[in-house]
């Protein structure tokens, strides 16, 4: 069972999930009602990102208190509401204390989190890969591409940093290939700002 409240999810995506046997809900009341009817059968509840956990956790625990809670935090938040002794977000530490399992994408961050919590409940879901050297002649390259949603603030911060700090260096080196940015979540003003800095903004793309 999956709940998709973000209206950026396309009908094609939703139908694709349903065709594989996944029960999909877009209405939150409908989702809670459905879960309540089989509350004793829910074995695991998996939330992705801390704001999703914050939004759902209390209600889900009341409906299905015996389920194992997995908080997929993706990455450590250091900037806001941080714990002085570690730099880790106090809210993330609170979530980790409440759930049975925490998921991160970085081995280093998982190690730091486990050391802070003095536990082994933090696991890594995705593999990390070492950068590979390439013999590509950039003068004959078709360019660079970045794919990511900009409702996730770090993606926007990263692209703004890239546009301000890296693109000028590439220009000095004579890198004339296009730099294409794909992803939703930017307003027209921000798109215009980034395009003025030399990035090609393409918004959402469905390659199917």
Which comes out higher in pLDDT, residue 201 or 116? 201
Over residues 29-69, the pLDDT tens digits come to 998 998 899 888 889 999 988 989 999 999 999 999 989 99
Query: What count of Cα atoms within 13 Å lies in the side-chain half-sphere of residue 203?
Result: 5
Q: What does the alpha-carbon distance between residue 26 and residue 4 come to, in Å, rounded to a whole number?
A: 5
Over residues 136-174, the pLDDT tens digits come to 766 667 788 999 888 877 889 899 999 999 999 999 988
Q: What does the alpha-carbon distance between residue 152 and residue 130 come to, in Å, rounded to a whole number?
A: 24
Over residues 77-104, the pLDDT tens digits come to 776 666 556 677 888 889 999 999 999 9
State the alpha helices, DSSP H only, in 11-138.
11-19, 28-37, 50-63, 90-98, 107-117
Checking if the pLDDT of 206 tops 70, the result is no
- 8 A C-beta contact, residue 103 and residue 123: yes
């Amino acid at each position: 069972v999956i709940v998709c409240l973000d209206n950026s999810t396309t009908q094609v995506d939703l139908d694709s999930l349903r065709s594989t046997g996944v029960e999909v809900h877009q209405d939150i009341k409908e989702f809670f009602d459905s879960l309540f009817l089989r509350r004793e059968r829910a074995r695991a509840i998996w939330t992705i990102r801390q704001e999703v956990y914050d939004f759902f956790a209390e209600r889900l625990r009341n409906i299905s208190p015996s389920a194992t809670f997995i908080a997929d935090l993706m990455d450590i938040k250091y900037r806001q509401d941080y714990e002085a002794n570690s730099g880790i977000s106090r809210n993330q530490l609170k979530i980790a204390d409440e759930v049975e399992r925490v998921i991160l994408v970085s081995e280093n961050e998982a190690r730091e989190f486990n050391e802070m919590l003095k536990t082994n409940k933090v696991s890594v879901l995705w593999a990390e890969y070492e950068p590979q050297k390439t013999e590509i002649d950039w003068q004959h390259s078709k360019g660079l591409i970045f794919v990511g949603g900009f409702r996730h603030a770090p993606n926007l911060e990263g692209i703004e940093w890239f546009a301000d700090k890296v693109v000028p260096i590439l220009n000095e080196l004579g890198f004339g290939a296009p730099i294409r940015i794909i992803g939703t979540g930017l307003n027209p003003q921000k798109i215009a700002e980034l395009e003025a800095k030399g990035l090609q903004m393409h918004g959402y793309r469905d390659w199917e």
